[in-house]
Structure 1
Amino acid sequence: MASTTRRRSSAADRRAALEKRILSVIEECLRGGVTYTELSVEQIAQAAGISRSTFYLYFRDKVDVLLRLSGSLKTESYAIAAAWRPTGPDGGVDGLARTYELTLRHYREHAALLAAINEVAAYDPLVREAWTADQDRFIDNLVTVLKEEQRAGRTPADIDPELAAKVMIQGGGQVIAQQVSNSDGSDDTVVARELARGYWYGVYRRPGSPTVD
């Protein structure tokens, strides 16, 4: 049993190391102007220093690679988002702004991969569905946070947590994607601050609706 466990652990370590190497290779190729659609398995394998047969030991095809890499990208960004709480040690509007800034920095570091995901998601349903499913995890986390704030009386009870979370995640995600794609990053702090203020004062601490007699 111990031997089997060690073999599984070793295989997982090799896969993780290979994924990291392939991510680096793919991002380098994409930064060079090659689209993910144009990038071949042969090019990826050669640049990563492995054979095609080794590539197929770990991945079904290019889409499988992209699914793995997009999962890792979202896992890291989810950790950033989930670490923030409105009344936590780094809470409040300033803490939320820092969270958005960290998220922007994270995606900017992997801008080429993000562009590849958006490129392939436009025509591949597997990539599109996986990216959307990952987004649902962010929405579920935010719904939980908003409900906690409502129970504590800090967020107005008339806000629909599910709808508000969907608008915030999808809307904020579009702003972040556009910012990473179209800006050199010099105004990331400003964009992060405006996102934070909009959602903090528009949702988390929105004034309650007046009672109509």
Structure 2
Amino acid sequence: MTDASRRRRRDAPRKGDLREQAILDAAEEQLGTRSLDDVTVESLARAAGITRNALYFYFGSKRDVLTALVGRTVEEIADDAATTEADTAAEPRERIAQAVRNTERSWARHGVVMRAAVELGAVIPEVGARWAETVERYIAAMTEVLSGAGLPGTGPGSAADVARALCWMTERTLYHASAAGNDLSRASEVCIGIWHRMLP
């Protein structure tokens, strides 16, 4: 076996990883077409093309599946926050607009999972913690953006306080727009306008 073929074999996803992803994909698809209560271990296993017992090899319960699904989604959102942090060459107004549009894009792609994360956060501590960590990641990125724009570092109206309030405002505004089937781009433009008004 050549080095190249060994490397290809090592880089190829394992069968178990593919099955786990199929279960998570099935969960995301089902969240878009049925209520949370109607998503069952049986329905997930059937949609993933495996038996109920096989699903239990990867996840201990429906709750574990949903927790892993939220985890997969928030990793993508965290990557967007990292992009905002890294883009220090852009003007604050551009960075703010891009950050909100990235968030809008996540809601457009994964709205069913993100709504489930908001709604399950109070009853599944792991989901609530992952969701809060993700918002905190954006708060840290936006605090840096607002500090660079001239907001103070301490006291009322500090960059950190404003970033926290406006990140949660953006999260809740897009959540409601997604849940109601409203225009996400309009909701995000409203949020961008409010963020921009807070700049010195």
TM-score, with structure 1 as normaliser: 0.73
In the alignment, which residue of structure 2 is the partner of 1:30? 31
1:75 Cα offset (Å): 1.4
Give the structure 1 partner of residue 39 of structure 2. Answer: 39
Alignment partners' CA distance in 1, 2:171 and 2:131:
12
What is the alpha-carbon distance in structure 2 between the residues aligned to residue 179 and residue 13 of structure 1? 38
CA–CA distance in structure 2, aligned partners of residues 11 and 55 of structure 1: 22
Q: CA RMSD in A?
A: 2.9
SS in 1 for 2:120: helix
Task: Report the count of equivalent residues.
Answer: 189
The code of the aligned residue for 1:22 comes to I
- Deviation string, structure 1 residues 141-171 (Cα, Å, up to 9, x no partner): 3334444x1xxxx313264233222112211
Unaligned runs of 5+ in 2: 1-6
Equivalences for residues 1-213 of structure 1 within 5 A = 13-32=14-33, 34-84=34-84, 88=88, 90-147=90-147, 149=148, 154-157=149-152, 159-185=157-183, 188-202=184-198, 205-206=199-200
CA displacement, residues 120-159 of structure 1 (integer Å, 9 cap, x when unaligned): 3343333223322332222233334444x1xxxx313264
TM-score w.r.t. the length of structure 2 is 0.77
Greater relative contact order structure (CA < 8 Å, 6+ sep): 1
For 1:43 and 1:87, locate their aligned partners in 2 and report how far apart those are by CA, in whole Å: 43
CA–CA distance in 2 between the matches of 1:80 and 1:111?
16
- Cα distance in 2 between the residues matched to 1:176 and 1:15: 35
Deviation of 1:76 after TM superposition, in Å, equals 1.0
